[in-house]
Chain A
Amino acid sequence: MEPILNRNEYTYYLVGNVDDFTERLGRVVRLGKEEIAVFKTTDGQIYALENKSPGPRGGTIAEGMISGEVLFDPICDWKISLTDGQVLDPDKGQVRTYPVQVLGNEVRIGLLTNGGGLFHE
């Protein structure tokens, strides 16, 4: 018997238009039970991360500063990669990310179809 792995099947929800988001300024999207911080980079790419600081003091990340594809955590000033949620050196950690689809002007965010969560036994 092999350890069980997550199956990544997502359902995408329409959360707004590309213009609802300002470059380099985060905005909070509540999608069902999830609180998501959505960011638009200077290049116009849109990223969605769980609105929760990975740092020891907790807090939210939507208010952070955006530089390229890096977010500076507003509470602990850790650097977080927008693309995969990884905390960059010298700190360690990870922020959960959500897949984003942009079709025309419409922005959609995906949630795990099976309800999410990290582990399933």
Chain B
Amino acid sequence: MVEAQERRHLVLIGNGMAGINTVEQILKLAPGIYRITVFGSEPYPNYNRIQLSYVLEKSKAVEDIILNDRDWYLENGIELYTATTVTHIDTEQKTVKADNGMEVPYDTLIIATGSNPFILPVPGADKEGIVGFRDIADCENMLHAADQYKKAAVIGGGLLGLEAAKGLLKLGMDVTVVHLFEEIMERQLDHTASLMLQAELESQGLKFATGKHTEEFLGDKRVSGIRFSDGTTLDAEFVVMAVGIRPNIALAKESGIAVNKGILVNDYMRTSVPDVYAVGECNEHRGITYGLVAPLFEQGAVLAKHLCGVDTKPYEGSVVSTQLKISGVDVFSAGEFMDAEGLSIVRMHDDWRRIYKKVLLRGGRIVGGVLIGDGKESSRLQQWIRTGTIMTEAIHDAIVGLASVETGNTAAELADEEIVCGCNGVTKKHIMDAINEKGLTTVEEIKVATSASRSCGGCRPVVEQILQYVLGDKYDSAAAKQEAICSCTTLSRDEVVTAIKEKGLITSKEVRYALEWDNPEGCSKCRPALNYYLGMIWPAEHVDEKDSRFVNERMHANIQKDGTFGVVPRMYGGVTTPEDLRLIADIAVKYNVKLVKVTGGQRLDLLGVKKEDLPKIWKDLGMPSGYAYAKALRTVKTCVGSQFCRFGTKDSMGMGIKLEKKFERLDMPAKFKLAVNGCPRNCAESSTKDIGIVGNEGAWEIYVGGNGGIKARLAELLCKVRTDEELLEIVSAFMQYYRETGKYLERTSDWIERMGLESVTEAVVSDLDNRRALAERMEVALAQVKEPWSEILNNSNLRERMFDEISVSTKPN
């Protein structure tokens, strides 16, 4: 290796994404050929500027968006000067001077000074409370403002402006987006797409003032409002300027390097001066300045190869695409997007589903596209635009074709870069590589290795198809069905349950020891499952293991993303009284509850309760827990029924309350929902419940296995019964049969498909002895349940440890 002193000295001005990405690529291509020094004006190492909007909406902290931490610079022998601004480049002597007085010689210099927010040159633009949105300091400014002020205006309805506006809205501000043009994002979207996006954002709470030309900022020292050229005004205590960016060329210009809008560079990022390069947003290449991330990576790749003496094609410009990073809004745009002469256009506009798709063709080749409301095909579309692919039937179908019923295995048709798991951002290629490299054979293993299907599970069928596709004949569907319950063991659910019964294992520690678990304390998957199986098999003997319960089931409340909880008291059959309603309202006020929500299960959710207030609220309510958090009976939804409704043939409220009182609190494999209807009009929606009961003249119909959630499924008719007693016994037998044979977390909709409706009907309806035995075992299990809120209230030691924080001052006494 060459000695440090002999190596060529590379100086990088600008510690942002463009510059550091170039350095990273240089280190990969030819480690050790340069001694590297980096100057950055901001007091942070290199961070992901694109994710600032996440920091603003508080879904990420500053540390989370750091791309290269200080150790990275140390490990790679890079000298880093943060909070240090280079003030002059002497291109003759080949040195740079910084604001801390130091002077450093260079052999090769890269300028990556990025860009500055453009501040409108109108009167009052220098008032307090007007900021740009460019760096972490701006972000902190905005977070601070949201605490103090209410009314905000964001000037600029482009990508950055909308992200800033949405962030401020999420922080609780009243936000108006001011835009010079009539249509937002007019540089990426056509008329239709722009209107759809605006409507969507309005429905989320943003306000818009479009076609408004800002003429003056009002206020004394601090901004108080904006006056527009049409004479109207807008109140604003805080203004974010997001009208655009300007390449930061001051340093280059002052040092005699040729500039226009940006620092002029050739196809290898060289400036007008030898050994001086410019990369990223600060440069201008073939008349274009870029403000997006993809071009700077492409430029960096060419520059790195050039500086390492590796053969490279020249940089010839980038096809830019735009993706809006606002949750719940799919917006994609790339290449040409406006109708124009010489273009053929494929268009699909669905106002009901709020989807708009447009693909623009020139001479049959794809040259641009816009996707609103459904961005699934965005990565493929971008690839087609980049390569100028010719439109085919298959592509047409993929983008605007009618959704056909998926039969057969379509995994082969997915592009490698296609995101299969939207929750965790896992691509098809990522999954295929994991299968091939690690020899995976089950979806469970893929889940552990790649995170695909780990969150909502909606993509599990696709993951399974990919597995089938990769393994071909080696794919073992039986193995897939008898999957291990988690990665701590190779045993399936049935093997574990049989062993627990045969060997008389009572605690989960015994199970893990006797069945030779790999991980002696288990994992977040098997711990709750074992706790459930043990309680189901040994209802009287097993002691519930609190440390194996998910947080919600342990705290008996639903944890929310901000660490507060939701409290849902029982409201049997969705029936309450004026006194109870008043009590709930008074308590909501007393504890300053953030929101009161009527839930889908006909009761009230008090949201935003602090952990330490939970026991106090329970005490004041004096009502039982509604188990809105549990793998147990949630609610029994009822219609008004024969007590009041003129169509009602059965007392659905009475039966619903009876069922809810009987089966509440009992642990089930998964959450469990019931509905009781007084007539076939089915107002309480039986068809999407685990058990849906429909009253007829003289009979009850029992439907089972319905689900309205992730995987919708209509309930199927189990049987018809004449008497209330029969109804109660069959419901009881069905629930117990599901408890005894269901896999933990398996809903009845999946369980019925696995077991087959016929065999379930045989076990809980036709075989009378079995039905009675199941119902008897159910009674034993029901005898064990306890009301959890009062249990915690009556145990001060438990209450203190679970709900009270320890508070210690750091101030010296």
Spell out A's residues near B (CB within 8 Å). 1-3, 5, 11, 13-16, 20, 22-25, 27-33, 38, 42, 51-52, 54, 56-60, 63-68, 72, 74-77, 90-91, 93-94, 111, 118-119, 121
Contacts of A42 in B (CB 8 A): 521
Q: Mark B706-732, 1 if CB is under 8 A from A, else 0.
A: 000000000000000000000000000
The yes or no answer to B805 lying at the interface (CB within 8 A) is: yes
The yes or no answer to B527 lying at the interface (CB within 8 A) is: yes
4 more A-B residue pairs beyond the given contacts A3-B79, A119-B45, with a C-beta to C-beta distance below 8 A: A1-B79, A13-B808, A32-B811, A72-B524
Q: How far is the CB of B626 from chain A (nearest CB, A)?
A: 20
Q: How far is the CB of A26 from chain B (nearest CB, A)?
A: 9
Contacts of B523 in A (CB 8 A): 67, 72
A66 to B, closest residue via Cβ: B547
Contacts of B548 in A (CB 8 A): 65
Q: Which of B440-468 contact A (CB under 8 A)?
A: 448-451, 454-455
A121 touches B43 (CB 8 A): yes
Interface-facing stretch out of B281-289, B296-304, B553-561, B598-606: B553-561
- A64 with B551, Cβ < 8 A, contacts A13-B810, A27-B801 known: yes
Contacts of A75 in B (CB 8 A): 559, 561
Rounded to whole angstroms, the CA-CA distance of A77 and B424 in the bound complex is: 12
A54 touches B64 (CB 8 A): yes
Contacts of B64 in A (CB 8 A): 54, 93
Q: How far is the CB of A71 from chain B (nearest CB, A)?
A: 9
Q: Mark B507-536, 1 if CB is under 8 A from A, else 0.
A: 000000000000111111001000000000
Q: Which of B336-383 contact A (CB under 8 A)?
A: none
Contacts of A33 in B (CB 8 A): 810
Q: Mark B24-67, 1 if CB is under 8 A from A, else 0.
A: 00000000000000000001110000000000001111011000
- A91 with B451, Cβ < 8 A, contacts A119-B70, A119-B82 known: yes
Spell out B's residues near A (CB within 8 Å). 43-45, 58-61, 63-64, 70, 73-74, 79-83, 102, 448-451, 454-455, 519-524, 527, 546-548, 550-551, 554-555, 559, 561-563, 611, 801-802, 805-811
Rounded to whole angstroms, the CA-CA distance of A57 and B527 in the bound complex is: 24
Contacts of B451 in A (CB 8 A): 90-91
Contacts of A58 in B (CB 8 A): 58-60, 561-562
B450 touches A90 (CB 8 A): yes
| Most interface-central of B451, B546, B806 (chain A CB within 10 A) | B806
- A56 with B59, Cβ < 8 A, contacts A29-B806, A64-B551 known: yes
Contacts of B563 in A (CB 8 A): 51, 59-60
Rounded to whole angstroms, the CA-CA distance of A13 and B813 in the bound complex is: 12
Contacts of B521 in A (CB 8 A): 24, 42, 66-68
Rounded to whole angstroms, the CA-CA distance of A25 and B545 in the bound complex is: 11
Rounded to whole angstroms, the CA-CA distance of A16 and B81 in the bound complex is: 42
Q: How far is the CB of A35 from chain B (nearest CB, A)?
A: 9
Q: Choose among B102, B448, B805 the residue that contacts A27 (Cβ–Cβ < 8 A).
A: B805
Contacts of A28 in B (CB 8 A): 611, 805-806
Q: How far is the CB of B584 from chain A (nearest CB, A)?
A: 25
A77 touches B524 (CB 8 A): yes
Rounded to whole angstroms, the CA-CA distance of A5 and B75 in the bound complex is: 13
Q: Choose among B60, B522, B806 the residue that contacts A16 (Cβ–Cβ < 8 A).
A: B806
B802 touches A3 (CB 8 A): no
Q: How far is the CB of A32 from chain B (nearest CB, A)?
A: 3
Contacts of A51 in B (CB 8 A): 563
B563 to A, closest residue via Cβ: A60
Q: How far is the CB of A75 from chain B (nearest CB, A)?
A: 7
Q: List 21 A-B contacts (CB under 8 A).
A: A1-B79, A24-B547, A29-B805, A29-B808, A30-B806, A30-B807, A32-B808, A32-B811, A56-B60, A58-B59, A63-B559, A65-B547, A66-B521, A66-B547, A67-B521, A68-B519, A74-B559, A90-B449, A90-B451, A91-B451, A121-B82
Contacts of B82 in A (CB 8 A): 119, 121
B63 touches A111 (CB 8 A): no
A67 touches B562 (CB 8 A): no
B54 to A, closest residue via Cβ: A56
- A3 with B546, Cβ < 8 A, contacts A30-B805, A59-B562, A121-B83 known: no
Contacts of B562 in A (CB 8 A): 58-59
B70 touches A74 (CB 8 A): no
A119 to B, closest residue via Cβ: B43
Contacts of B79 in A (CB 8 A): 1-3
A74 touches B801 (CB 8 A): no
Q: How far is the CB of B12 from chain A (nearest CB, A)?
A: 14
B555 touches A20 (CB 8 A): no
A3 touches B547 (CB 8 A): no
A90 touches B70 (CB 8 A): no
Closest 8 CB pairs of A and B: A32-B810, A63-B551, A72-B524, A24-B547, A67-B521, A60-B563, A28-B805, A121-B83
Rounded to whole angstroms, the CA-CA distance of A5 and B523 in the bound complex is: 37
Q: How far is the CB of B604 from chain A (nearest CB, A)?
A: 24
Q: Choose among B58, B61, B808 the residue that contacts A15 (Cβ–Cβ < 8 A).
A: B808
B71 to A, closest residue via Cβ: A5
A63 touches B454 (CB 8 A): no
Rounded to whole angstroms, the CA-CA distance of A61 and B79 in the bound complex is: 36
Q: How far is the CB of A86 from chain B (nearest CB, A)?
A: 13
A108 to B, closest residue via Cβ: B808
B805 touches A25 (CB 8 A): no
Contacts of B60 in A (CB 8 A): 56, 58
B547 touches A31 (CB 8 A): no
Contacts of B801 in A (CB 8 A): 20, 22, 25, 27
Contacts of B61 in A (CB 8 A): 52
A1 touches B102 (CB 8 A): yes
| Most interface-central of A51, A93, A118 (chain B CB within 10 A) | A118
A67 touches B519 (CB 8 A): yes
Rounded to whole angstroms, the CA-CA distance of A77 and B519 in the bound complex is: 17
B100 to A, closest residue via Cβ: A1
Rounded to whole angstroms, the CA-CA distance of A25 and B804 in the bound complex is: 13
B527 to A, closest residue via Cβ: A65
A3 touches B74 (CB 8 A): yes
Q: Choose among A3, A57, A72 the residue that contacts B70 (Cβ–Cβ < 8 A).
A: A3
A3 touches B80 (CB 8 A): yes
A90 touches B527 (CB 8 A): no
Contacts of A91 in B (CB 8 A): 451
A54 to B, closest residue via Cβ: B64
A89 to B, closest residue via Cβ: B449
B808 touches A31 (CB 8 A): yes
A67 touches B554 (CB 8 A): no
B547 touches A23 (CB 8 A): yes
Rounded to whole angstroms, the CA-CA distance of A2 and B79 in the bound complex is: 7
Rounded to whole angstroms, the CA-CA distance of A16 and B79 in the bound complex is: 43
Contacts of A23 in B (CB 8 A): 547
